[in-house]
Structure formats: C-alpha cells, structure tokens
A = this chain, B = another copy of it.
Amino acid sequence: MQRKDLKRLTIKDVARTAGVSIATVSRILNGQGGVSEELIDKVQLTVQELNYQPNAVARALKVQESRSIGLIIPDIGNPFFPALVRGVEDAAQVHGYALILCNTDGDPDKEINYIKFLRSKQVDGILLVGNIGFEQSGHWLSDAAVPIVLVDRRIAGAPLSTVIVDNQAGAVLAVEHLIRQGRRQIAIVSGRPASPTNTERVNGYIQALAANRLFCRTDLVVNGDFTFEGGYRAAEILLNRGCRFDAIFAANDLMAIGVIECLAQNGRRVPDDVAVAGFDNIRLAAWYKPALTTINQPVYEMGQLAVAALLEHMADSGAQARDIMLKPELIIRQSSGGKEQS
C-alpha cells in the first residue's frame, strides 16, 4: 500500500499517459500558449490524476535558476533574528523562493564557508548578516557571482546593497529622550567596539550630547559586548569609578537589562536614581520589570525589504548598490521614568 520507493514520476509519464509529447506537457505546465484547448484539458487532467509535480532540481539545472535564496545570520537563538527570518521567509515564499537558513555564530570563517556552500547549491541570491571584514574577504563578497545583500550590519567598504536601521538616529532618539527626562549625566554602555553597529550607536550618543551642549565625559563611557553579562560588568565598572550619573544608555536591550540588574543589586533604583534606555526592543523589553525604554527596529520589514532588494539585484546584475535605511522608533517605558511631560 505505501510504496515509498515508488519511482517518482516525470514529465515523461505524464506525456505517455496523456498520449502527447513531453514538449506539449512542458508548454502547458508553463502556460506558454500555442496549444489546443483540447490538449490543455487532457494534460491538466492527467497531471491531476497522477498527482504529478515537476522536478525543481531538473528545472533549476536547465534554466540556471534554483529559486532559492540563502540567509546567513549569526544565531537564530538571538532574540533579534526570528522576526527578521520571518520577514525574509514570508517575502521569499510569496515569490516562490525557498529559504535556506545558516547560523554562523558570528564567525567569519563560517560565513565564508556558508557562502561557498550556498554558491554550490546554486542559490539565486544571498542575504548576509555578516561580521566579516571586507578586505578579509572582499574577493568572495564582491566576486561571489551571486548577488549578496547585507542586512542589519554593514560591512565597511563592501560595494553591496545594505538594508539597515539608522542606528545613529536611533541612539539620538534614546539619548535626547533621557535628556528631556531631565537627566544630564548620561553614561553609555557600548557594544563590541569593533562592530560598525556599535560605532553608529555611540556616534548617536555623542551627537545627542553635543546637540544639547553636554560634554561626552570619558569616565561615563564603558565598553560592553552586547551580552547581558557584559552589561552587568559594565555597570559594575561604572559604579566602581565612583563618578556620578543619573542615566545610562545601553547599546542594546540585553546589556540594558544587565545594567539594571546590577544597579538593583547595588541599591540604585531605576528609574528614580538612574534612568536606563536600551536598543532593539526585543520581546523581553516589554515584559521586564521595570519595562524597558528602548529603540524599536522594524525588523520584520527589514527582512521583507532585504528580499525585495535582493530580487532587484537578481533581476538586474548591473543594479547599483544602495543603502536602505529604516527609521528607528522610540518606545518609552518605565525604565526611563515613563511618559515625557511636555
């Protein structure tokens, strides 16, 4: 009854059963026209009856187009990525593309290996959330012979289209909010210093301070690494320095939460003593107590737009690389003292 090893049927079988040539079947299946109504009906019927499905691999080999794209991210376990992946998958599916998912843990070697892997799989395009440097592998990135679009993180010097949120503007939003809340001694807990994303956010911090005639005091700057523990340790360092501060901007939410936990351990109240703002608006930010003021990124849309950009490059190999910047949004919650009074 359940013959799994039943040989998969091919266009040949359909042709034979319907009593026509494979050329005719192919034409009908691809809706090319130039076929009589009669045959169309007959063939479509047998396709139904046999439950025939074209072999996409054979088709891919023939038309040199696999109808699949690759998505390379650091780690789907990172709460930032599921929404991105969902946006990508939905958009890909709409256009009939399969999505191949790859996790690199941010390791540049793995990124290169996955690009090679995807290339051998003949994917039509690649979406990359990359940590690799351009010189480190500019060869692969620009000569990959397959369109690559960068998502969420730029790669300095790479001549590739990039879909990204305006990190600097987001940081400005967060810091200016803290300032409007009456805070003046605003510290920053940065992410990994090497990360372009971090640099942009730090620049936003500096810009916002300057725009409000506040100094950027080096004793209020401390490096984290985008992790909870990094945030915790950074807050400890800040406390140990003995300098005054009445607000902290953390370069992402995970660190912001680490910061708050540390402050709580040390008897500082949030937001009464110290206002805290993060970046990313991960799910946890809304649930955490105190609920975290943060910068929302339209992650799902980012995924969708990335696919759109990739499709463009796939359709036109001469298309210019361009930056697509998404607007961040300030989400005000308790950790910064709640609503602004204006």
Contact = CB atoms under 8 A, between A and B. Distances in A.
Contact of A284 (B60, B76, B283): B283
Interface stretch (A50-58, A184-192, A268-276, A330-338): A50-58
A75 B86 contact: yes
Interface in A62-93: 66, 68, 75-77, 79, 81-83, 85-86, 89-90, 93
B61 A58 contact: yes
Given A53-B120, A55-B120, A86-B77, A145 B4 contact: yes
A56 B121 contact: yes
Which 7 pairs between the two chains have the least Cβ-Cβ distance?
A: A289-B289, A76-B82, A53-B120, A56-B120, A57-B122, A101-B101, A57-B60
Contacts of A283: 79, 284
Contact of A101 (B6, B85, B119, B145): B85
A304 to B, nearest CB: 13
Contacts of A56: 120-122
Contact of A287 (B4, B122, B257): B257
A8 B55 CA distance: 23
